[in-house]
Amino acid sequence: MNHFPPSRDVALARLADFLPNAGSKYARDRNVDAPANDRPNVSMLSPYLRHRAISEREVLQSVLARFSPSTCEKFVQEVFWRAYFKGWLEHRPYVWHAYNRDVQELSAELTANEELKARVQAATSGSTGIDVFDSWAQELLDYGYLHNHARMWFASIWVFTLRLPWQLGADWFLQHLLDGDPASNTCSWRWVAGLHTKGKTYCARPDNIRRYAPRFFQGDEPAGLERLATQAEPISENPDLLSEPRAQPHWPQAPADIDRSRCALLLHGDDLGSGAIERYATVGALSPSPLSPHGESTQVRRFRRALTQDALDSVNPQQAHSRIVQDGETITGWLRETGVSEIVIPYSPVGPTAARISSLTEDLAAEGIEVIIDTRHYDRLAWPYAKAGFFKLGKKIPELLDALSMSRSNG
C-alpha cells in the first residue's frame, strides 16, 4: 500500500482530514506509535512539507483558522521545530560537512571491518533480535516513514545498545525516509547521541515503549527489551562543532520590483513551489539530489521524482516548456528555448541541493543568465532565532505568527 501518494492535492486533502485532530487530541496522542496504516493522531504531512509541496505557512494558517493558539500550541510548535533545525544548521554548516566526512570515513571502514559491517547489516535488515527495533527497521524499508517517537527509540538503540556509529544510522535514514531532511535528520540523531544539546541524551526504555507503542504488547512480551541500554553516555566529538555560530548567514531575497512574469522559476527538492508557480513566465524543476553519498532507495527516488513532476503538472498551459532539468547545460538550453534570461531559484538550506545550486549559479552566470535566489519570508523570520536551543525560537512563535499573517509575500 502506498501511504504517501506523490501529490500536492493529496497533501491538501490530508491536511483537511487531520485538522479536527490538530488541537487537544494532538497534544494528548501525538507520541503514540500506532500501526502504520492507522495514524490519525499525527498529520502524516512530513514528506510533503519536507519538499514544500505544501508549505508550513499553509498548514499553520489552516490549523489556526480552526483552533485558538493555545489549543493547537503543541502542533504549531512541531511545525516550527522543522524551521528550528534548518535554521540551526544554517548557522553551523560545518556540522553538516563534518557529518558527511564522517560518513565517508566510516563507510570506508566498513569494507575493512567485517565485524562492524555485520552488525550494521543486522541493524538495517531488522535482524538484531530486538523485536521492536527490527519491526521499525522493516517498517522504514516498507513505507519510507517512521513515527517521530519511533525514530528516537530507533536511534537510541542504534547508538547506545547496538553501539553503532550514529552517522551510519543517520545516513541509512536519509537513504530510506521519504521526508529525509539534512537538518532535521542530522540534528535529531545528534540530539539523541548527546551532541546537539551538550550532555543531553535520549535513552530508549522498555516502559516508555510499552506506554507509547502498545501495538507491540498485544500478546507475548517482545523479545530483546532486556538488552536495551539502561544508561546513555553522551558521544564525544570535536568541541568546535558545538561552538557559537561563526558568521551570520546571508539569506537573499528577490527584489520587491521583480517582474516574475518575465522570469523563469527553477524548483528543486527543497522547495516545490507550494502553489506560487503561476506568477512566473515558465517553470522548471531540478532533478532531485540524493541526500546520501550511497544514493537513495528506489521508493524514495520514485517518490521525489513523481512529486517533482506533480509540481510541474500544475503549471498553467500558458507557461510553456516546463520540464525537469539536470545540470547547467540543460538549464541554459531550456532558458534559450523560452527566451528568458533571468531565473529565480528558491533558497535551498544547507545540504546537497544547496551545494548543487551554488555550482549551477556559477555556470549560469558564465552564460550571461542572471540568477536570483529568493528566501521564503517564513524562513527569514524564523531562522535568526535558531542559533542555540529551541526555547529562544519557541518564545517568538506568537510574534512570528503575527508577522506571517500580516505579510503578503510568498512564505
Q: Do domains 99-242 and 260-375 have the same CATH topology?
A: no
Instruction: State the cell numbers at 82.
Output: 522543522
Query: 19, 172, 197: which is closest to 103 by C-alpha?
Result: 172
CATH class of the region 8-90+383-406: mainly alpha
Size of the chain, expressed as the number of residues it contains: 411
The pLDDT, as a whole number, for residue 186 is 98
Q: What is the mean pLDDT of residues 160-174?
A: 98
At 323, the pLDDT band (50, 70, 90 cuts) reads: confident
Q: Can you tell me the distance from the alpha carbon of 89 to that of 104, in angstroms, rounded to the nearest whole number?
A: 20
- The C-alpha R_g of the chain, in whole angstroms, comes to 22
Residues 30 and 42: beta-carbon distance below 8 Å: yes
At 318, the pLDDT band (50, 70, 90 cuts) reads: low
Q: Can you tell me the distance from the alpha carbon of 242 to that of 98, in angstroms, rounded to the nearest whole number?
A: 12
Beta pairing class for 370-374 and 282-286: unpaired
The full set of domain ranges for the chain reads 8-90+383-406, 99-242, 260-375
Q: What is the mean pLDDT of residues 296-301?
A: 97
The pLDDT, as a whole number, for residue 406 is 36
Q: Can you tell me the distance from the alpha carbon of 88 to that of 10, in angstroms, rounded to the nearest whole number?
A: 30
Which CATH number is correct for 260-375, 3.90.850.10, 3.40.50.620, 3.30.1640.10, 1.10.486.10? Answer: 3.40.50.620
Say whether 270 sits in a helix, a strand or coil.
Answer: coil
Instruction: State the cell numbers at 235.
Output: 558521544
Q: What is the mean pLDDT of residues 366-391?
A: 94
Query: 10, 13, 185: which is closest to 88 by C-alpha?
Result: 185
Residues 256 and 36: beta-carbon distance below 8 Å: no
At 394, the pLDDT band (50, 70, 90 cuts) reads: very high
Q: Can you tell me the distance from the alpha carbon of 289 to that of 268, in angstroms, rounded to the nearest whole number?
A: 9
Identify the helix (H) or strand (E) that includes residue 346.
strand 342-346
Inter-CA distances, 347 with 10, 24, 122, 252, 300, Å: 25, 34, 39, 8, 22
At 65, the pLDDT band (50, 70, 90 cuts) reads: very high
Task: Give 3-state DSSP helix, strand, coil % of the chain, rounded to 5.
Answer: 55, 5, 40
DSSP 236: P
Q: Report the mean per-residue pLDDT for the chain.
A: 92
At 209, the pLDDT band (50, 70, 90 cuts) reads: very high
Residues 223 and 130: beta-carbon distance below 8 Å: yes
Fold of 99-242: DNA Cyclobutane Dipyrimidine Photolyase, subunit A; domain 3 (1.10.579)
The pLDDT, as a whole number, for residue 409 is 43
Residues 241 and 98: beta-carbon distance below 8 Å: yes
Lowest mean pLDDT among 139-153, 242-256, 384-398: 242-256
The pLDDT, as a whole number, for residue 273 is 87
Which amino acid appears at position 251 of this protein?
Answer: W
pLDDT at 72 over 70: yes
Lowest mean pLDDT among 59-73, 106-120, 163-177, 273-287: 273-287
Q: What is the mean pLDDT of residues 349-372?
A: 92
